[in-house]
A and B are shown apart, each in its own frame.
Chain A
């Protein structure tokens, strides 16, 4: 039994040594490297986007606090109106940008997961 197993193993080792395949696409590694570089660039841009988003948000909050403390009209606009106008612009920008960023981050992460 043991002997026949050994014969089998020799037989399969012999035939399987002929089953090695060569990748028939010569530009394979170039394609993979190109995709990796693209992915790296996108990841870097995404990180930068989050950094600038956070910086912008902090700056916007500071600015809205500063505007709320104004007592004198600026260019003839009352401080209360200016505060309200700025708050609306700031909130709408914040929500649309955070939505876009979250969607983009999810798309990149899911791509990284499956690629």
Chain B
């Protein structure tokens, strides 16, 4: 389906690019948020990435999936953005949000929106690469090879990152947010 719209854009139908934006904006936003941790910066990154994808669309040869190519642009732009601003990424255990969340009573159970909120808060507290790898591997269900293609990281690096990400995420959810597996699986 993407191919049809890509061809249309390349043939001069600029408006066909709107379909690509609508299709990929949410996942692109999730990936950008994993890295930049701020919704306005993530929106900026995503905007820049889509414009870049449009201008460089002719260079997309179709060797990989279009989504892989686009995610690579989003991730590169996101890392470029945090490098540019030299912003400090919040590491877990240091955030004021973290302290306020600790006192909440999760044991009483949570609805889906609450779960979504705290899972995303936990992802915000993880370092950029760890939250990114969790989203790529578990949310987007990309294989290690695809993640390597998207990020440019080596297989072993990805496996180590994934292992660390799982441990840190679990620690955040279970120890710090006091969420246990049973509650999450409700």
Partners in one complex: yes
Q: A19 is contacted by which of B21, B47, B54, B123 (Cβ under 8 Å)?
A: B123
Q: A32 is contacted by which of B26, B47, B120, B184 (Cβ under 8 Å)?
A: B47
Q: Are B173 and A15 in contact (CB under 8 A)?
A: yes
CA distance A115 to B112 in the complex (A): 36
Interface size on B, residues (CB 8 A): 38
User: Interface of B with A (CB < 8 Å)?
Assistant: 14-15, 17-18, 21-22, 25-27, 29-30, 33, 39, 43, 46-48, 50-52, 54-55, 112, 115-116, 119-120, 123, 134-135, 138-139, 166, 169, 173, 181, 184-185
A-B contact count (CB 8 A): 94
- Residues of B near A40 (CB, < 8 A) are 14
Interface of B is mostly: helix
| Shortest beta-carbon distance from B11 to chain A in Å | 14
Interface of A is mostly: helix
Q: Are B134 and A23 in contact (CB under 8 A)?
A: no
Q: Are B51 and A36 in contact (CB under 8 A)?
A: yes
CA distance A28 to B169 in the complex (A): 31
CA distance A23 to B18 in the complex (A): 15
Q: Which of A5-13, A70-78, A79-87 is found at the contact surface with chain B?
A: A5-13
- Residues of A near B139 (CB, < 8 A) are 16-17, 19-20
Q: Are A36 and B116 in contact (CB under 8 A)?
A: no
